[in-house]
Each structure stands twice: as C-alpha cells, then as structure tokens.
C-alpha cells in the first residue's frame, strides 16, 4: 500500500453526488488501511476558509484557488485528499491539477432532469424561477471536464458502483 498522498477532485453540478461519494469513499479508504484521509467539501470550506467570498466568477475562482492550496498541502504530505466542489470553470480545475499533488479529476455527471427531481432543497426550482442568480447550470455556466480520469454517472449507477470505480482506479494506478 502506497503512503503517497493524492488529490481526488470531484466536480459536477449541485446535487450530482460529489459529497455523498466522497463520504463513502473516505469510509472505504479507511477500511482499507489508509490512515490519513481528509475531505474538503465546498459547503464546509465556504463556511470557514472562504466565508468572505460570494458567488461571482472572481469569488468562485478565489474559492477554488484556496481549496487547491489546502489540497496541495495535504496531498504532498501523504494525505488522501477528497475535494468535492462544483468547480464549474475548466481553467480553475486546470489550476488545481497543476498545483495539487497526484491530481485525479472525477466528473460526477448527472442529467439536469434527474438533478431537478432529486433537489430536496428546491434550489433548481428557485434558480429556474430567477430567485437565485448565478446558479451553476441554470444562469451560470458549467464547463464539463474534457479529459477527467474518471467519469461517474450518478443517474445510472449506485453509490456502491461509483465508489468501486474510484477504488479500482486508485488500485490500478498504485495509489492504494
């Protein structure tokens, strides 16, 4: 088992399953004996490290830069770092790739209809009604990854299947 740290960067629309998969993956990695695992979740990081930021493009960019900095510190020091952020802009995900140790991009893909059906908070409905400005995928763009290491389609696969796909990638590439 490798003691090498890595950064798994989960990207995708709100509600696609990034956090859910990261939590389940964290549990699975710990079961497999990975001692140091840290999750950086977009909502939690926004409450602490990025509480001064809004949702403008500049603020979103700064949010990703700060998360990338923390992920790099963790991963280069042997921590399996699981980052779950919408991170809608390709150039900022590329920035994270360039700056994070052993970067693995995971596109958590889900069609808009399924996301709207799953939307327990009603955010998509509010965004469609114009009540939430700059909402990713509705009134603000989401730029799909061009070459992610892993694509998980959560409309068609179970949580178990998604985690298994990531574990298989990590195993095959010598991270675990």
Reported as a single tens digit per residue, the pLDDT across 66-121 is 888 999 999 999 999 999 988 899 999 999 999 998 999 999 999 999 999 988 88
The region of weakest confidence among 62-66, 71-75, 168-172 is 62-66
Full residue range of the structural domain in which residue 63 is found:
6-112+143-172
This prediction's pTM = 0.89
Q: What is the mean pLDDT of residues 155-175?
A: 97
User: Is residue 124 in a domain?
Assistant: no
The CATH number linked to 23 is 3.40.50.300
User: Is residue 126 a part of any domain in this protein?
Assistant: no
In this structure, is residue 132 part of a structural domain?
no
Please give the structure tokens belonging to residue 112: 């808009």
1 assigned to some structural domain: no
Please report whether residue 82 resides in a domain: yes
CA–CA separation, 103 vs 133, rounded Å? 31
Catalytic one of 75, 87, 139, 162? 87
157 C-beta neighbours (distance < 10 Å), count = 14
Does residue 134 lie in a domain region? no
pLDDT of residue 1 exceeding 50, the answer is no
Q: What is the mean pLDDT of residues 55-60?
A: 69
Pairing of strands 37-41, 150-153: unpaired
**65 belongs to a structural domain:** yes
Model pLDDT, residue 66: 82
| Packing angle of the helix pair 90-99, 57-75 (nearest 10 deg) | 20
CA pair distance 169, 104, nearest whole angstrom: 10
87 is catalytic: yes
Give the chain's domain count. 1
Mean pLDDT of 154-173: 97
pLDDT at 3 over 70: no
**Is the model more confident about 60 or about 165?**
165
Looking at residue 86, what is its pLDDT? 87
**Residue 119 located in a structural domain:** no
Distances (CA, A) of 167 to 27, 32, 42: 12, 10, 22
pLDDT given for residue 169 in this prediction: 98
pLDDT digits (tens, 9 = 90+) for 5-43: 999 999 999 899 999 999 999 999 999 999 899 999 866
- Top-confidence range, 2-11, 41-50, 138-147, 163-172: 163-172
Q: What is the largest CA-CA distance in the chain?
A: 50
Q: From residue 143, give the alpha-carbon distance in Å to each of 35, 78, 102, 127, 174.
A: 34, 30, 22, 18, 29
């Amino acid at each position: 088992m490798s003691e090498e740290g890595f950064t798994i960067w989960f990207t995708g629309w709100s509600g696609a399953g990034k956090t859910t998969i990261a939590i389940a993956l964290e549990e699975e990695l710990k079961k497999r004996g990975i001692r140091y695992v840290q999750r950086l979740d977009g909502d939690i990081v926004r409450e602490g490290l990025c509480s001064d930021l809004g949702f403008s493009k500049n603020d979103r960019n700064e949010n990703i830069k700060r998360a990338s900095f923390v992920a790099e510190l963790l991963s280069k020091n042997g921590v399996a770092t699981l980052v779950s952020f919408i991170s809608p802009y390709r150039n900022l995900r590329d920035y994270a790739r360039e700056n994070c140790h052993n970067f693995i991009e995971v596109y958590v893909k889900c069609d808009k209809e399924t996301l709207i059906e799953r939307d327990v908070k009603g955010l998509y409905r509010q965004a469609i009604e114009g009540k939430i400005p700059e909402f990713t995928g509705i009134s603000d763009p989401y730029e799909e990854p061009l070459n992610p290491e892993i694509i998980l389609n959560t409309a068609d696969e179970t949580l178990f299947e998604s985690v298994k796909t990531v574990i298989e990638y990590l195993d095959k590439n010598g991270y675990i």
